[in-house]
Structure 1
Amino acid sequence: MAYRLQIGSKKIFEDLIALGMTSRKSNTLKLLIIPKKHFNHFVRGYFDGDGNVYIHKRKDRKGKLSLLAGFTCGSEVFLEKVFSELKKTANIKKGSLYCKNNTYYCLYFSTNDSVSLYNFMYNQCGDLFLLRKKERFEKYLKNR
Structure 2
Amino acid sequence: MDKLLCSLPKIPQERFNHFIRGYFDGDGCVSYGFYRRRGRNKKTFTISTYFISSSKEFLDNISKKLNAYIDVGLGCISKHTGNHKLSHSKNGAIKLTPFGRTFFRIIY
TM-score under structure 2 normalisation? 0.80
Work out whether 1:68 is the aligned partner of 2:45.
Answer: no
Structure 2: segments with no counterpart, 5+ residues: none
Work out whether 1:112 is the aligned partner of 2:91.
Answer: yes
Change (3 A) 1:31 1:69: same
CA distance in 2, matches of 1:43, 1:125: 7
Work out whether 1:123 is the aligned partner of 2:100.
Answer: no
Q: What are the superposed Cα offsets for residues 37-95 of structure 1, whole Å, 9 maximum, x if unpaired?
A: 22122111100000011012031473332101010001111000000101100111241
Check the 8 A contact 1:40/1:120 in 2, yes or no: no
CA distance in 2, matches of 1:76, 1:99: 9
Q: Which has the higher helix share?
A: 1
Change (3 A) 1:49 1:88: same
Q: Please give the residue correspondences for 1:25-44 in structure 2 after superposition, counting only pairs within 5 Å.
A: 27-44=4-21
One-letter code aligned to 2:96: L
Structure 1: segments with no counterpart, 5+ residues: 1-25, 127-144
Q: What are the superposed Cα offsets for residues 1-28 of structure 1, whole Å, 9 maximum, x if unpaired?
A: xxxxxxxxxxxxxxxxxxxxxxxxx713
One-letter code aligned to 1:115: I
Instruction: Provide the aligned C-alpha RMSD in A.
Output: 2.0
Q: Which has the higher strand share?
A: 2
Q: Secondary structure at the match of 2:79?
A: strand
Aligned structure 1 segments of 4 or more residues deviating by more than 3 angstroms: none
Q: How many residues align?
A: 100
Check the 8 A contact 1:44/1:121 in 2, yes or no: no
Change (3 A) 1:76 1:122: same
TM-score under structure 1 normalisation? 0.62
